[in-house]
Structure 1
Amino acid sequence: MIEIEHLSKRYGAKTAVDDISFVVRPGIVTGFLGPNGAGKSTTMRMIMGLDTPTAGRVRVNGQEYRSFRDPLRQVGALLEAKAVHSGRSASNHLLSLAATHGIPKSRVHHVIELTGLESVAKKRVGGFSLGMGQRLGIAAALLGDPKTLILDEPVNGLDPDGVVWVRQLARHLASEGRTVFLSSHLMSEMAQTADRVVVLGRGKVLADAPIAEFVAGSGQGGGARTLVRTPHPDQLFGAVGSAASSITPREDGAFVVVGPDAQQIGTIAAQSGAVLHELTPMGASLEEAYMALTKDEVEYQAEVAR
């Protein structure tokens, strides 16, 4: 368990984290979300004792991280995948970490297999791709078989198979009763991985709730959302007209219609003679709920090209 109480961090006049409190509980995957500059990485660094809080405190498994005599067995963390001596091989990097905690070589071999590093275990880390570096960082986090996992952007640089693997790994570790706390900018992936989300914006907690509750309470307006597939889009959507607040085409050929519900669209299709291949009611997505919540909390905004 990770317990954060009234935690703040200031760098001169800049407040990176502003009096935040939340609990990351064992047995579930907790996602950590927020725009760039929201304070996520600073919070994770304070959990790990790498940054000293200006105010408040953090406890991991009931203690401050710095008080652990066997930190690798208590907390596994991936905060910076490139924090590795580039001249070492992957196996030697893990063996050196294991030696500090009396972890047997068999465990090193196990995490190498678990993370798919067998083919590159003897190669120097300096030549690793971003994805392989991420796998090595995850292997190091798992080395001590810890009770708590803290992973900052663990799927960054991974191919689709690797992304699915991280998802399955996180959910498996949580099912064993471990505390799993991870951040990601991939909302679609977070929606499939996390059970609960904590959202930061400009250093403050904007939301702390189960994903279903967070999405349901997002206050998305504009009417119902319906997935529509039709070979006659001009005919159908011409008839729908102003009843729809938006009609958005997708890459797979379907359309997301916001406004009239599925029953209304079906009636309009029948009246206009348009053929329907699919008509599926859709709920709000995690990405939409997140964007609605954080739209005024983005510190760095780019102009839309014209």
Structure 2
Amino acid sequence: MIVAENLSKSFGAKNAVSDVSFTVQPGKVTGFLGPNGAGKSTTMRMIVGLDRPTNGQVTVNGRDYTKLRAPLAEVGVLLDAKAVHTGRSARNHLRAMAATHGIRRSRVDEVIEITGLTSVAKKRAGGFSLGMGQRLGIAAALLGDPHTLVLDEPVNGLDPEGVLWVRRFVRHAASEGKTVLLSSHLMSEMAVTADHIIVLGRGKVLADASVDALVKQWTRASVRVRSPQAPLLAAALERDGVTTTSQEAHLLDVSGVEAADIGDLAAARGIALHELTPASGTLEDAYLRLTGDDVEYKTKDLA
């Protein structure tokens, strides 16, 4: 379990993290989301003792990370896949890490196989692609078979097979009761991987809820309706206080009423329906609505 209590970090006049409190429960994959500059990486660095909090504290299984006797055996960390001696082979890099904690050499070969690095294990890490570097970083995080995983953008640069493997791996780790904190900017992937979501914006916690609860709170359900008599149907629905919008002829986006009720109304009025599709909001929809006012680095809309 990871527990942050009133955690703050300032760099000069810049407040990177401000009074953040949350708990990452074991047995779940917890997604850690937020725009660039939101404070995610700083928070993760404080969890593993790389940055010292200005105020507050964060503990892993009730202890400060810096006081853990064998950190690799308790917390697996991927913060920067490039943090590796470029002249060493993948195998030698992992062997050097294992030697610092008395981890058996056979474990190095195990994580190399687990992460798909067998064919490049003897190659220098400096020549690795982004995706292979990520796999090596994940292998290092798994080296001590830890009970807690802190992974910052682990699927960055991975091919579809690698992304699927990471998803299955972290889900399996959570099913074994491990604590998993996972950051990503891929909302579609987070939606099918995470059980719980923590969202930061400008250094503050904006949301701390299950995926389903977050989507329900920050999006609206709607029904996609296609009809050759769309204007007539829209008029009938709006008389009952239902909201409809139209992006193209014969197509309506209807909110505030169930699909079955739309079908019943259309049947009673003799209105033909060619499509009636309920659509719920997505995690991406919820995230964009939630963080819309907290994006520090905004791009220009070219449309």
Q: Please confirm whether the aligned pair reaches a TM-score higher than 0.5, indicating the same fold.
A: yes
Matches of residues 86-165 of structure 1 in structure 2 within 5 Å? 86-165=86-165
1:291 equivalent among 288, 291, 295: 288
In 2, the alpha carbon distance for the partners of 1:237 and 1:46 equals 55
CA deviation string 1:192-237 (max 9, x = no partner):
111111111110011111111121222x35xx42356x7xx8x465
Structure 2: gaps spanning 5 or more residues: 236-242
Distance 1:238-1:5 versus aligned 2 partners, 3 A rule: same
In the other structure, the counterpart of 1:252 is: none
Provide the rounded CA distance (Å) in 2 between the counterparts of 1:256 and 1:68: 58
1:184-199 alignment, distance < 5 Å: 184-199=184-199
User: Cα gap change, 1:244/1:133 in structure 2, threshold over 3 Å: closer, same or farther?
Assistant: same
Q: Which aligned runs of 4 or more in structure 1 are off by greater than 4 angstroms?
A: 236-243, 264-274
Alignment of 1:63-102 (within 5 A): 63-102=63-102
- Aligned pairs for 1:249-260 (under 5 A) are 257-259=253-255
Give the C-alpha shift of residue 275 in structure 1: 3.3
Residues 34-61 of structure 1 show CA distances to partners (whole Å, capped at 9, x for unaligned) of 1111000000001111111100111111
SS at match of 1:245: strand
CA distance in 1, matches of 2:74, 2:45: 16
TM-score, normalization by structure 1: 0.88
- The DSSP-based 3-state class of the residue aligned with 2:156 is coil
- Supply the distance in 2 between the matched residues of 1:9 and 1:238 (Cα, whole angstroms): 55
Deviations 1:113-139 (A, max 9, x none): 111111111111111111111111000
Aligned to 1:11: 11
Residue pair 2:125, 2:133 contacting (<8 A) in 1 also: yes
Cα 1:154–1:246 shift into 2, 3 Å: farther
SS in 2 for 1:244: strand
Q: Is the 8 A contact 2:36 2:296 kept in 1?
A: yes
Aligned pairs, how many?
A: 291
> C-alpha separation between the residues in 2 aligned to 1:17 and 1:239?
53
Which secondary structure state, in structure 2, belongs to the residue aligned with residue 15 of structure 1? Answer: strand
Match of 1:28 in 2: 28
Mapped partners of 1:171, 1:122: distance in 2: 30
| Residue aligned with 2:206, SS | strand
Deviation at 1:287, TM superposition (A): 1.0
